[in-house]
Structure 1
Amino acid sequence: MKNRVLDTLQLIGGNFILACSVVFLIIPNSVLSGGVAGVAIALAPFLTISVETIMTGIIVITFIMGYLFLGKAFAVKTIASSIMYPIFINGLSLIPHTVRVDPILASIFGGLVAGVGLGLVFRTGASTGGMDIPPLILASKTNVKVSVWIMVVDFFTILLGLSAYGLNDVLIGLLSVYSTTKAINIITTLGGQQAKQVFIISDYVDDILDMILENLDRGATIIDAHGGFTRKQKQIIMTVITTVEYPQLERHVKEVDKDAFLIVSDVTEVHGQGFYKI
């Protein structure tokens, strides 16, 4: 029940934040962007109806496409967003506002705010409907990842506005897409603890392992391997530590074996014993 309530609040909040971004930043400043708003703004010069009406039409059409190509289960998960989003868009549009900022700032911050809203929706496992649906359909029919299709669809969405708005606005629109992507990545991993994953190759495995367990109070995994050149059997230590603990780990490893080989990579999110989840 707690998870359902949290998911519901995130779904409502995400759609509301996304709508705020579109109504108060993207539409007033005619920012070409990805998603339904971007398509609507690109098509508006060629049609005699409002941007909000075009957006509502696109959402309905893509929802029907999702139902036909992705099935009833997908439709059930998406219908809440497909209903809430246009309601928020049309409701917020009734509020008098004259937000006019530099187009570049509108593009960047509009993208960031939209990314926060989308990220909250994605955290619930739902879709916002609209232009999320064509990439999902394409991914289901091909071996190409959804994320790749999203980038392709957003790119062509912005190109729709090239003839009506010009290259300058298209380039500004790409800033919005980039900002949205970055914000989505941050929000979807929010609450996890960033860390470093370290692979250690050394002839002093036992000494280094004892140091990790006792000095750093961290766990480790031993991986059996063999050298590609020497063909000798080797043991590799794999451990995950917090970012602030890495300098201490490196110093201790070098004290044990100055020739130790360390492979270090950033870990976006870690859960489990010794790491917390907000």
Structure 2
Amino acid sequence: MKTTNKEALIDILWILAGNLFLAIGVAWFILPNNVLTGGLAGVAIALEPLFHIQPEFMINALTVVLFLAGAVILGKKFAMKTILSTILYPTLLSVMSYLASEVIAPDTFIMDKYLATIYGGALMGIGIGCVFRTGASTGGMDIPPLIVNKYTHIPLPTLVLITDALTVLLGVFTYNLQAALTGILSVWVSSMLIDKTMMIGGHKAQSVMIISEKYEELMDMIHDELERGTTIIQAMGGFSKEKKPVIMVVVSKKQLPQLQYMIAHADPEAFVIVTETNEVQGLGFTYEEEL
């Protein structure tokens, strides 16, 4: 499917914002405090005592190498989107590192390691999540999860968590167990923020299944008072073998208490199942009826 100019511009803005958040998290929180974390920053910090290579230089070099691997395996479309990150991230990281060391007082970013771990992990997660929304990559250690996801379809946040946890474990050999355990906290925070950021703009709702003898009365109330559509599913009781209609309706979170009140008054014996729904598309959620 062809991407419009507007969609391409939005993708570029997401990638720009994502790399900016990622660079700030690494340059201002992770590197100044030697926090073991996931991603290339974690690899660079874990290997620095062994190879004595400046972490910023190692990050920039590995960014290019992993981009080339991702371009070969994930294809041209991935490469076209990710090349922007491959240029942006090292550039922004250098700029943010320069600001931290030369413009802003260097001691400003030396802080309690747990604070650096949490805030650095959060900013990194937001950054990676912004870029993942476009189907691209930051050009770093999120490329291996994307490759594995292509063949296994395991959720990206889960794969990022596993990859980053393995990266942090490298630090056990060069630092100590406490440093690695602190790093896992950063990985967990980052994974949570990736998931939340990727859901930005999603229309969360509640999916409700209702089994009631008064299903017609309930449907009329849902249509008239909540202005929501309903679907009838023909079901059969596993024990009774009786056929019963099941009402399926999707409502917003703020409408759920009103729906529960309606069900309780119309049929106190109704059987109700409520499920959290992360994404809803259609009339009343992603677009309104034209009058």
TM-score range, shorter chain: over 0.9
Corresponding residue number in structure 2 for 1:240: 250
Partner of 2:240: 230
Choose from 61, 79, 83 the match for 1:79.
83
Distance 1:141 1:243 in 2: 35
Aligned to 1:116: 126
Q: Which runs of 5+ in 2 are unaligned?
A: none
> Within 5 Å, which residues of 2 pair with 1:150-165?
150-165=160-175
Whichever residue aligns with residue 88 of structure 2, its letter is M
Equivalent-residue separation in structure 1 for 2:86 and 2:168 (angstroms): 22
Normalising by structure 1, report the TM-score: 0.92
Alignment partners' CA distance in 1, 2:73 and 2:252: 44
Distance of 1:79 and 1:208 partners within structure 2:
54
Contact 1:28 1:100 in 2 (8 A): yes
Percent identity over the alignment is: 43
Q: Secondary structure at the match of 1:272?
A: coil
Q: CA deviation at 1:11?
A: 1.1
Distance 1:150 1:185 in 2: 10
Confirm or deny: 8 A CA contact 1:192 1:276 kept in the other structure. Answer: no
Gaps of 5+ in 1: none
Q: Hey, what does 2:56 align to over in structure 1?
A: 52
- Deviation for aligned residue 1:152: 2.0
Q: Say what the alpha-carbon RMSD is for the aligned residues.
A: 1.9
| TM superposition outliers: structure 1 runs of 4+ over 4 Å | 141-147
Determine whether 1:14 maps to 2:18: yes
Letter in 2 for 1:70: L
Q: Kindly state the Cα deviation for residue 125 of structure 1 after the two structures are TM-superposed.
A: 2.3
Output the TM-score relative to the length of structure 2. Answer: 0.88
Write the letter of the residue equivalent to 1:24. W
Q: How many residues align?
A: 277
State the distance in 2 between where 1:105 and 1:73 align. Answer: 38
Aligned to 2:92: 88
Cα deviation digits, residues 181-224 of structure 1 (max 9, x gap): 22222222223343211111112211111111112111111112
Contact 1:33 1:173 in 2 (8 A): yes
Equivalents in 2 of 1:196, 1:138: separation in Å? 32
1:1-278 equivalences under 5 Å are 1-95=5-99, 96=101, 97-98=106-107, 99-142=109-152, 144-275=154-285
Summarize deviations over 1:98-139 as a string: whole Å, max 9, x none. Answer: 301111111111111112212221222211121111122234
Aligned-partner SS, 1:44: helix
